[in-house]
Amino acid sequence: MSNKEAKIYIAGHNGMVGSAIWRQLEAQGYTSLIGKSSKELDLRDQYAVNAFFDTVKPAIVIDAAARVGGILANNTYPYQFLMENMQIQNNLIQAALKIEVDKFIFLGSSCIYPKLAPQPLKEEYLLTGSLEPTNDAYALAKITGIKACEAIRKQFGKDYVSLMPTNLYGTHDNFDLATSHVLPAMIRKFHDAKLNNHATVTLWGSGTPLREFLFVDDMAASVIFALENILPEHLYNVGTGSDLTIKELAETIQKIVGHEGTIEWDASKPDGTPRKLMDISKMHELGWKHQVELEEGIARTYQWFLLNQDNFKEVKI
């Protein structure tokens, strides 16, 4: 059996990241992709996950499934963000190990690193300081997943690797204002304000924090890179290696959307971590690098938003 025919299970294949991985694998000739919606398979249910793995027996597992959200959602529902993410990843990792899956790719987030870690963030800074309190529940869950994959590499010699993306955005993103991340939320706000006679847009915080953004298709390419190569270490950052202020991001999105009104900053709202730039030298040394620059990525995302806005469902928590 060639590698392109190997059974690949993508957990979370309907999400922004999972669907991008699916599209790229399909485009590159992979023929045995497996996906289950949350209605078909509840990844929080250990019995159901074990039964699914016993039946399907995937050769490769990509864990792009998670409960995700911005500062508001993380702050409001810390128990669900901690417990549900641990249930999802623990069930997938344990089931994969049980049926001798040799390759497991675990996806996390840059929020795993300490709030005040030196910049840019290196992989070895993990667990060297306190987390950002507005999303520590999600971060803790992801750290346990990284540690589980590292332990399996050490104890069982299997190729379980963790990829930590910076802030992701792109087509198939979540544009619901209550649960979305900063970039898609801004696209939605500027678009709605443009339609409302270019009304003033109010944004959270001071606009001074620095953030790095990676287009989702580049993230998918990094997953395929990890799938097609044996990476020598257990943990890798994935990003662009450059950042900009939230104010600069807002002005970039405003220009692309065509909003001509004013921007007001609500400094009573939290900023989150002051900076989160990833050190991506380890992935660069192995041969992976991002391809899509920010303005192009935002323009592509906004075009997708325009084509699909009638289909959006408000996310219920």
Residues assigned a catalytic role: 138
Has 108 been labeled as part of a binding site? yes
Higher pLDDT, 89 or 179: 89
Report yes or no on whether pTM surpasses 0.85: yes
Has 304 been labeled as part of a binding site? no
Angle, CA of 174, 177 and 183, to the nearest 5°: 60
Q: What domains lie within the chain, and their CATH numbers? A: 3-174+212-240+276-292 (3.40.50.720)
Q: Are 44 and 209 in contact (CB under 8 A)?
A: no
User: Residue written as tokens 């128990």?
Assistant: 79
Instruction: Sort 60 into a burial class: Cβ within 10 Å, 0-12 / 13-18 / 19+.
Output: buried
Has 290 been labeled as part of a binding site? no
- Rounded mean pLDDT, 60-76: 85
Distances (CA, A) of 5 to 92, 104, 106, 211: 21, 17, 21, 39
Question: What does residue 101 show for φ and ψ, rounded to 5 degrees?
Answer: -65, 125
Residue 313: is its pLDDT beyond 60? no
Has 301 been labeled as part of a binding site? no
Residue percentage of the chain with pLDDT more than 90: 84
Residue 78: is its pLDDT beyond 70? yes
Residue 1: is its pLDDT beyond 70? no
- Model pLDDT for residues 207-263, shown as the tens digit of each residue: 999 999 999 999 999 999 999 999 999 999 999 999 999 999 999 999 999 999 999
Q: Are 88 and 44 in contact (CB under 8 A)?
A: yes
Question: Residue 33: beta bridge partners?
Answer: 8
How far apart, in whole angstroms, are the C-alpha atoms of residue 86 and residue 140? 9
User: Residue written as tokens 């050490």?
Assistant: 154
Torsion of CA 254, 297, 207, 236, to 10 degrees: 170
How far apart, in whole angstroms, are the C-alpha atoms of residue 14 and residue 17? 8
- Model pLDDT for residues 134-176, shown as the tens digit of each residue: 889 999 999 999 999 999 999 999 999 999 999 999 999 989 8
Q: Give residue 317's pLDDT.
A: 37
Question: What does residue 13 show for φ and ψ, rounded to 5 degrees?
Answer: -70, -15
Distances (CA, A) of 265 to 183, 238, 261: 15, 30, 13
Number of residues assigned to the chain: 317
Has 211 been labeled as part of a binding site? yes
Instruction: Show the tokens assigned to 282.
Output: 């380890």
Residues 6+ apart with CB under 8 A from 166: 110, 212, 213, 214, 237, 238, 239, 240, 276, 277, 278
Burial 259-277 (b: 16+ CB within 10 A, else e): beeebebeeeebebbebbb
